[in-house]
Amino acid sequence: MEGWRSAVDKIKSRTFLNEESEAMHPPPSQAGWLITIGIVQCVWKKLSEEQKFKYPETRNLSEDALENTFYPIHLCCGSNDNLSVGKFIDDLKTVIINGLAYRSL
């Protein structure tokens, strides 16, 4: 947990400069990192206290599997940021069927 606290301090202390070397408003990614680290700390606190976990397996916190699931759907429907539930389900079925057909070749 000390490593996470140290990381939070380092992230908070970063200053971002514009082209004229003037301090500018931090990018959204900085706040995102702080939120993510805070959530990981809360999850770990619960797991270690209530479930008696001895150490965190942070590699299991990766979003790669989720991204790999939704990337083909994104390709299928283009850059539509406001999918309806029906359209999402249709695209998911298409991706699954195409994947099964590709594997059978």
Helix (H, G, I), strand (E, B) or coil at 94: helix
Whether 11 and 47 map to the same domain: the answer is yes
**65-102, pLDDT tens digit by residue?**
777 777 777 776 666 677 788 888 888 888 888 877 76
- According to DSSP, residue 69 is labeled H
Q: Are 55 and 65 in contact (CB under 8 A)?
A: no
Residue type at position 14: R
**Cα–Cα distances in angstroms (integers) from residue 11 to residues 55, 69, 73, 104, in the given order:** 24, 30, 34, 48
pLDDT at 35: 92
24 and 71, same domain (yes or no): no
Q: For residue 78, what pLDDT is reported?
A: 67
| 16 three-state secondary structure | strand
Measure the CA–CA gap between 59 and 47, rounded to whole angstroms. Answer: 16
Whether the per-residue pLDDT at 27 is higher than 70: the answer is yes
What mean pLDDT value characterizes the chain?
82
Q: Does 68 share its domain with 79? A: yes
This model's pTM is above 0.85: no
Domain that holds residue 76: 64-104
Backbone angles phi, psi at 31, to 5 degrees: -65, -35
Query: Percent of the chain beyond pLDDT 90?
Result: 15
Q: Are residues 7 and 42 in the same domain?
A: yes
Q: Are residues 72 and 51 part of one domain?
A: no
